[in-house]
Amino acid sequence: MQSKLSDIELIEQTLAGNQSAYADLVKRHQRFVFTLAMRFAKGREDAEEIAQDCFIKAYRSLASFQGQSKFSTWLYSIVYTTAMTFLRKKRVATDSIDDQNTFIQVESRESGYDTNNIENKSRSFYLNQAIDQLLPDDATIITLFYKGEQSLEEIAQALGMETNTVKVKLFRARQRLKEKLEHNLKQEVKELI
Amino acid sequence: MNTIEEKLWNYIDGTCSPAEQEAIARLIEQDEAYAQKYQELLALNQEFAKMELDEPPMAFTYNVMETIRTENAMQPLKANIDKRIILGIAIFFAVTILALLTFTFANIHISGINISAADIKLPAGVKLPSTNSLFSGPVLKWFLIFDVVLALFLTDAYLRRKKTARQL
């Protein structure tokens, strides 16, 4: 059962020495942090490593959290920097965000799954598949906007960008996602025929 | 200049000004192309919002907390010791020394100003070793030289620390 206390109250308790309060914070944010890590790592093991690293970093610097922004915004900025460092280490090019021809080799999250049976797949499967094919920045912005309950200003703060830049990137990311979604669905239909 | 799609996304997100909002609403009402695109983007927006979050492994929270616990346990002992414990030990020694001094002074019988008249008696059966050979002339000299050098060294270190603190 998750705690009913607010993030700020849990942080105060953690700083007072109550470690179980931090466990509650982790439980509350772990799904979203893990999803964001998946946008960069594309593999569950690496994503787990990134997400775990983020929560440990957040714990270490919890005392420096001023409370001027939402805890989630602060945490997502840690996720972003940790994931970028991870990508740099893995030598994956992430700065060519405008290169529409760049495709990342995706480790399928459903490997071993019968991909020919279209009837067993929901629309959300195709959506997640299309998101996996996006560049990490695009996938992160889309996820933060639709699932992170973050405004454009908060996304900009988390990613260390200008609000207008985020707005433009979100627009482009949505266009690319739409294209990928349409492309994947067409492919499936062709395979069925 | 904004494309139709860009304008419509801004309208859906609510990120345009009230005047723009009003103008786009009018365009959707009057222009068939706008209305069609708007419906298409609205459906897409709803679909994007339905994306599912990935589920981390069951033991995720446990693993995070275990790592934190291990890290805390590996902290240097100096950082882990409660300052109150150190203070307690210091108070214990101070009180013990004070009690010993009080006891000693209470047992000294001073007559006039003749210190040699102090009458301190050791319990029967306790014999002190002879100190004559230990505190001979050269040993005492070296002991005093060592003390002077140590005092100079500590004073120098103290003054250097003070100077550095002032510069910062």
Task: Give how far the C-alpha of residue A146 lies from the chain's centroid of Cα atoms, to the nearest Å.
Answer: 11
End-to-end CA distance of chain B: 55
Q: Which residue of B has its CA nearest to A21?
A: B65
User: In terms of Cα–Cα distance, which of A129, A172, A156, A140 is closest to A39?
Assistant: A140
Encoded amino acid at B118, one letter: A
Q: How far is B64 from chain A (nearest CA, A)?
A: 6
User: In terms of Cα–Cα distance, which of A120, A135, A127, A105 is closest to A43?
Assistant: A105
Tens of pLDDT, residue by residue over A16-63, are: 888 899 999 999 999 999 999 998 887 899 999 999 999 999 999 898
CB atoms within 10 A of CB B47: 17
Segment 77-136 of chain A within 8 Å of chain B by CB:
109, 123-124, 127-128, 131
- Report residue B2's pLDDT band, with 50, 70 and 90 as the boundaries: low
Is residue B53 within 8 Å of residue A35, measured between CB atoms?
yes
Encoded amino acid at A66, one letter: Q
Tens of pLDDT, residue by residue over A44-55, are: 999 999 999 999
**pLDDT for the residue numbered A129:** 86
| Least confident range of A82-86, A140-144, B15-19, B162-166 | B162-166
- Report residue A98's pLDDT band, with 50, 70 and 90 as the boundaries: very low
**pLDDT for the residue numbered B39:** 92
The verdict on B49 touching A (C-beta cutoff 8 Å) is yes
Percent share of chain A, pLDDT over 90:
38
| The length of chain B, given as a count of residues | 168
Q: Contacts of residue B68 in chain A, CB cutoff 8 Å?
A: 19, 22, 56, 59
- Burial string for A148-163 (b: 16+ CB within 10 Å, else e) reads bebbbebbbbbbebee
Structure ipTM over 0.85, yes or no: no
This prediction has a pTM of 0.63
- Report residue B5's pLDDT band, with 50, 70 and 90 as the boundaries: confident
| Least confident range of A13-17, B60-64, B75-79 | B75-79
Is residue B16 within 8 Å of residue B24, measured between CB atoms?
yes
- Report residue A170's pLDDT band, with 50, 70 and 90 as the boundaries: very high
End-to-end CA distance of chain A: 47
Segment 5-34 of chain B within 8 Å of chain A by CB:
5-6, 9, 13, 15
Which of B2, B17, B64, B69 should we substitute to test contact with A (largest number of A Cβ atoms within 10 Å)? B64
Higher pLDDT, A183 or B72: A183
For the ranges A91-105, B94-108, B117-131, the maximum mean pLDDT occurs at: B94-108
The verdict on A40 touching B (C-beta cutoff 8 Å) is no
Q: Which residue of A has its CA nearest to B51?
A: A124
Question: Residue B73: is its pLDDT beyond 80?
Answer: no
User: In terms of Cα–Cα distance, which of A44, A39, A50 is closest to A135?
Assistant: A39
Q: Contacts of residue B44 in chain A, CB cutoff 8 Å?
A: 174, 178
Backbone angles phi, psi at A156, to 5 degrees: -60, -40
A182: left (phi over 0), alpha (psi -120 to 50) or beta: alpha
The 8 Å CB, 24+ separation contacts for A48-53 are A48/B56, A48/B57, A48/B60, A49/A86, A50/A79, A50/A82, A50/A83, A50/A86, A51/A79, A51/B56, A51/B60, A52/B60, A52/B63, A52/B64, A52/B67, A53/A82
* Sole residue written with tokens 């010993």: B100
